[in-house]
Amino acid sequence: MSSDTSSVGSNASNEDEFLSLSQTMLFSRLLSVLKRDIVLPQPINIPTDQAPAVLPPTISTFIAAAIGISEAHVSSFWTIMRDDIWALPPQALTQEDKELFRKHGWKYGLSRRTRASMVMYPPSDFCTNPKCGRCKPLKKVHAVQIIVYTLASGVVPAWEVQLYCLDCNTTYYPNYSAQHGTHTYHDGDIPQYISIGAHQYTERQLIASWISYMLITSVSATNCSRAYDMGTQNPNAVFGSGTG
């Protein structure tokens, strides 16, 4: 039980538990960026424009560990605060918040873009196949661990969320959909992270830098790859170990 100044109280068990102001704000920030993770596992009849009454178990476990309260109290505080949190736009996370995702959320597939991890979703929760009549959100979810090559942070572990339409047998990935062996890239701008093979993505800016090297200095793609490995895995090898 928190002993400092309380802003939100609950009586989920026989003893009251309170969230301090900082815990209340943390509770709101973390859950405000997890709405999609909260909505996806809900039953098909639960509307997505309202906060569901119950948090998915993995979300509840993550929040309890991140804030340091029991899951029973997570449930109680969610009941009190869910409508306000649902009305919030995704809040900016601090470095400490992102560290909480890394420490307590990664094993549940919960992650936010950091130097250490990220999660990538298909752009829509709905089937976009024009020949498919499904209007309900996609609920069959599969998450796989992938790696992402980034310009600033090197090789970053990530989760790739895949959605499956049971009506037309289309699987939706972050960059494209696949049906009967045919891949169709999503409409819109070139995505920030581009699939380059099974379980691997590359940041768009990194590909642009490789193309520039190849066009301007005639460096081969192989040597671009070697330079990237050298710079991200052992930066000292690039700059040398001497003090100059």
**β-strand partners of 155:** 149
Write down the least CB distance from residue 183 to Zn ion, Å.
15
Residue 168 is a binding residue for Zn ion (CB under 5 A):
yes
Q: Name the one range near Zn ion by CB under 5 A: 19-27, 168-176, 186-194, 206-214.
A: 168-176
Stretch of residues binding Zn ion (CB under 5 A), selected from 67-75, 81-89, 125-133, 190-198: 125-133
132 binds Zn ion (CB under 5 A): yes
The label of the residue with tokens 């040597």 reads 223
Which residues, in sequence order, are CB contacts of 90 under 8 Å at separation 6+? 32, 33, 35
Pick from 165, 194, 206, 224: which binds Zn ion (CB under 5 A)?
165
d(CA 57, CA 108): 10
Q: Is 151 in the site for Zn ion (CB under 5 A)?
A: no
Q: Does 167 bind Zn ion (CB under 5 A)?
A: yes
Would you count residue 134 as binding Zn ion (CB under 5 A)?
Answer: yes
Identify which of 37, 28, 106 has the alpha carbon closest to the alpha carbon of residue 67. Answer: 28
Q: Write down the least CB distance from residue 160 to Zn ion, Å.
A: 20
Write out the two tokens for 122. 């298909």
- Which H or E run includes 77? helix 71-87
Is the CA virtual torsion 90, 91, 96, 100 positive or negative?
negative
Binding residues for Zn ion (CB under 5 A): 127, 129, 132, 134, 165, 167-168
